Amino acid sequence: MEFELKRLRDALKQTLNSGDEAALQALLNSQNISDIAALIDEWPEYTAQIMTTLAVHRAASVFKILDISTQKSIVRELHSSRTAALLNELPADDRTDFLEELPKKVIRDLIKLLDPDERKITLSLLGYPEDSVGRLMTPEYVYLSVQNTVSEAFDIIRKVGAHMETIDVVYVVNEHGELVDDIRIKDLILATPHTRMDQITDDRVIALNVNDDQEHASQVFKMNNRVALPVTDDYNILLGIVTIDDILWVTDEEYSEDMQKIGGTEALNEPYLNISFFKLIQKRVGWLVILFFSEMLTSSAMQYFAKELEAAIMLSFFVPLIMSSGGNSGSQASTLIIQAMTVGEVRLSDWWRVMRREIMSGLTLGSILGVIGFFRIAFWHYLMLHGVMQDVYGTHWVELGLAVGFTLLGVVVWGTFSGSMLPMLLKKLGADPAVSSAPFVSTLVDVTGLIIYFSVAYIFLHELFIA
């Protein structure tokens, strides 16, 4: 693959230097779409020339798979006539996906370049809610009447199929335009020419609603192993179809956004190296400030227990240990649950099973860490007794070990509980579960972990505090 790209780069450079437009056009039009996209990413200075030289249908295919920042750059650099040809050639769903990323003023200017029919379709798609199936669907599909025969169906496919998004599946509607069924091309081929559509249909069609969320559509595709699904309105009128390639792009974008949110930033919505420095700061500073103020509660908790710390200074030695253990367990749980919810493995109705499972996990993990913590203190005390280290635990090392051990048990249980339930609570409230990111859960558990620590320590070391 790398060798082929190097060969293509060398041939392109040679052709560009020769100034032979015909040779350049022949070279570009003979290459794979993905290879041309790779060239544009590597040589952005030649982007306008490449996109102008390519046949318009191939230019549209390349444009579809480029990053949004590169697409914006292309539209800025191309002549308006070429931009018009490119936008008109794009499938309606891909064109809408690009336009919705632009400022409203730019959208108005670009829509003026579209042919009347394409403009009408695009405005219709842009009218649907953001992140809805309506924004993804294409009106380019083959539909048949229930009265059509197989022979008539093939005549229709031959007539209009070349301009459709896919002809692997055709759609059957009744006289009111309502969706009746979808039929695979295989079933048409195997049927006799005079068989009518209503004799082939089985009424087991799976359809998406135009207002469905795109993440829901992704789950439907996954569960039903489809390459395309019909889209209907609330009255079952067939409006368009959504194809698997669009769903794959949506899934990739959603995954990227969730990963960024889990890391404690806003979604960047464009490649990291392309986003401006100040915009990157803007995306990151909000959560950092929120987490900073949240961590101030940790200082407040430390001040509240200042007398306890003065009475038993050895408690301060284990504060970082307690905070990190609770935060880490909470981060683990939140990441696992967010990922499971994203891929559809966990639903809101599973909250009780999740809570029970995470509490049991917390008890087990906390017990393991608690035992390790106790024996760590016992081992250090043994070294102190033999003069290897300075004795700082004194005669209360057992009580200290028990306090640390039981605290670890408590904060890990609390961390796994919080980390698993918070994403589900946010989902129930209509928010994005990814907002309950690992840093957020970690900060929450840090503060509460200190309260648990000093409360447990008071039980085991109350004699020191009273004294």
Structural domains of the chain, ranges and CATH numbers in brackets: 2-127 (1.25.60.10), 143-244 (3.10.580.10), 277-466 (1.10.357.20)
Across 31-45, 176-190, 316-330, which has the greatest mean pLDDT? 176-190
Report the pLDDT value the prediction gives residue 168, as an integer from 0 to 100: 87
Across 14-18, 43-47, 145-149, which has the greatest mean pLDDT? 145-149
DSSP of 174-214, one letter per residue?
Answer: -TTSBEEEEEEHHHHHHS-TT-BGGGT--S----EETTSBH
Cα distances (Å, whole numbers) of residue 42 to 21, 28, 45, 63, 290 = 21, 15, 9, 15, 39
DSSP 8-state secondary structure symbol assigned to residue 192: -
CA dist 326 and 201 (Å) reads 57
At residue 277 the predicted structure's pLDDT band, cuts being 50, 70 and 90, is confident
Report the pLDDT value the prediction gives residue 260, as an integer from 0 to 100: 64
CA dist 368 and 365 (Å) reads 5
Report the pLDDT value the prediction gives residue 413, as an integer from 0 to 100: 92
Residue (of 417, 400, 442) closest to 366 by Cα position:
417
At residue 359 the predicted structure's pLDDT band, cuts being 50, 70 and 90, is very high
Q: How would you classify the pairing of strands 228-232 and 238-243?
A: antiparallel
Residue with tokens 């570009």: 28
Q: Is the pLDDT of residue 77 over 60?
A: yes
Give me the residues paired with residue 242 across strands: 229
Q: Is 206 helix (H, G, I), strand (E, B) or coil?
A: coil
pLDDT, tens digit, 9 for 90 and up, residues 169-206: 899 998 888 899 998 888 899 999 999 998 888 878 88
Report the pLDDT value the prediction gives residue 259, as an integer from 0 to 100: 67
pTM for the full predicted model: 0.59
